[in-house]
Amino acid sequence: MSYEEKRKNLVNNLVKRGILSKKKVINAMLKVPRHEFVPANAVSSAYSDSPLSIGLSQTISAPHMNAMMCEYLELKEGDKVLEIGTGSGYHAALCAELIAPENASNPGHVYTIERHEELAERAKINISRAGYEDIITVIHGDGTLGYEKEAPYNKILVTAASPEKVPPAFKNQLKDKGILCIPAGSKGYGQTLYVVRKEGNVFETERKTGVRFVPLIGKHGFST
Ligand code: SAM
């Protein structure tokens, strides 16, 4: 079976399970080649709905988690997005498809931060190979500080588990009417995925589902 067929099966399955429903997100997941973002020894599992190791004790999240977060973020053409936790670069590429689709008249941009330099460098290679290098900027650093240089953002997604007290930069660097999607809770034992909407000075927080992410480590995250 070709990668394209495997990708189609995966997406159809996510639609059947009710995880994917938005046409634009479905198209993005049909387009982005996940096999370009996983290590060579895991390519045969690239289209299974499971997290995979990318080295340094880190993972590329399961596709259903990417799908859910993309739907919750309501990504649209022109959005400026901040991702904390680049990992493989796959989720950033999905966001890129949604905010800067082919022939976009008003393309957006994705800034993505990774604390492990080796992963950041590998993600840059993956992103170029898949053709998203003009839309995604990979930064090596501590994402718990956000990325003040390009703030504010329409959307912020955090793909590592934050402590219950969310790093203040995430809310501060969000535009009015912006959306933050973040797993928060305890380290290692599972967390809750939250969607936070900014309306002026008010933040509306919605609990979505139980999740399990690797920890967000940094100044305003966990210590190790
Ligand atoms: N979004 C990624 C993808 O599409 O492959 C998966 C992210 S993985 C579940 C979580 C990532 O967050 C890891 O690569 C980890 O090194 C990174 N991370 C943890 N704490 C961080 C921090 N303070 N700043 C930036 N990255 C961090």
Q: pLDDT tens digits, residue range 160-206?
A: 999 999 999 999 999 999 999 999 999 978 999 999 999 999 999 99
**Has residue 142 got a pLDDT over 90?**
yes
**Has residue 28 got a pLDDT over 80?**
yes
- 3-class secondary-structure state, position 27: helix
Of all protein residues, the one whose alpha carbon is nearest to atom 12 of ligand 1 is 85
Averaged pLDDT of the chain = 97
When divided into structural domains, the chain yields a total of 1
Give the C-alpha distances (Å, rounded to integers) separating 171 from 89, 165, 196, 201, 209. 23, 11, 9, 10, 20
120 part of a folded domain: yes
97 part of a folded domain: yes
121 part of a folded domain: yes
17 part of a folded domain: yes
User: Which atom of ligand 1 lies nearest, measured to the CA of 91?
Assistant: 4
Q: What average pLDDT does the segment 42-49 reach?
A: 97
Count of beta carbons in the 10 Å neighbourhood of residue 84: 28
Q: What average pLDDT does the segment 20-28 reach?
A: 97
Q: What is the rounded distance in angstroms from the CA atom of residue 50 to the CA atom of residue 5?
A: 18
Between the CA of 77 and the centroid of ligand 1 the distance, in Å, is 24
Q: Indicate the top mutation candidate among 216, 219, 222 to test ligand 1's pocket, ranked by most ligand atoms within 8 A of CB.
A: 216
Q: Indicate the top mutation candidate among 65, 68, 84 to test ligand 1's pocket, ranked by most ligand atoms within 8 A of CB.
A: 84
220 part of a folded domain: no
**What does residue 70 show for φ and ψ, rounded to 5 degrees?**
-65, -40
115 part of a folded domain: yes
- pLDDT score of 127: 98
DSSP letter for 5, please: H
Q: Which range of residues forms the domain containing residue 70?
A: 3-211
138 part of a folded domain: yes
Which positions are catalytic?
61
Element (H, E) at 125: helix 117-129
pTM: 0.97
Q: What average pLDDT does the segment 32-38 reach?
A: 98
Using one digit for the tens of pLDDT, what is the confidence trace for 52-111? 999 999 999 999 999 999 999 999 999 999 999 999 999 999 999 999 999 999 999 999
Q: What is the rounded distance in angstroms from the CA atom of residue 53 to the CA atom of residue 36?
A: 14
What CATH number corresponds to the domain at position 118?
A: 3.40.50.150
Sheet strands (E) in the chain: 52-55, 58-60, 80-84, 109-114, 136-140, 153-158, 174-185, 191-199, 202-211
- pLDDT score of 188: 79
CB 7 within 8 A of CB 66: no
168 part of a folded domain: yes
Q: What average pLDDT does the segment 147-166 reach?
A: 98
- 3-class secondary-structure state, position 6: helix
- pLDDT score of 194: 98
- pLDDT score of 107: 97
The share of the chain scoring above pLDDT 70, in percent, equals 100
- pLDDT score of 224: 77
- pLDDT score of 189: 80
Which residues does ligand 1 sit against, CB inside 6 Å? 58-61, 84-85, 87-88, 90-91, 113-116, 119, 142-144, 159-160, 213-214, 216-218, 221
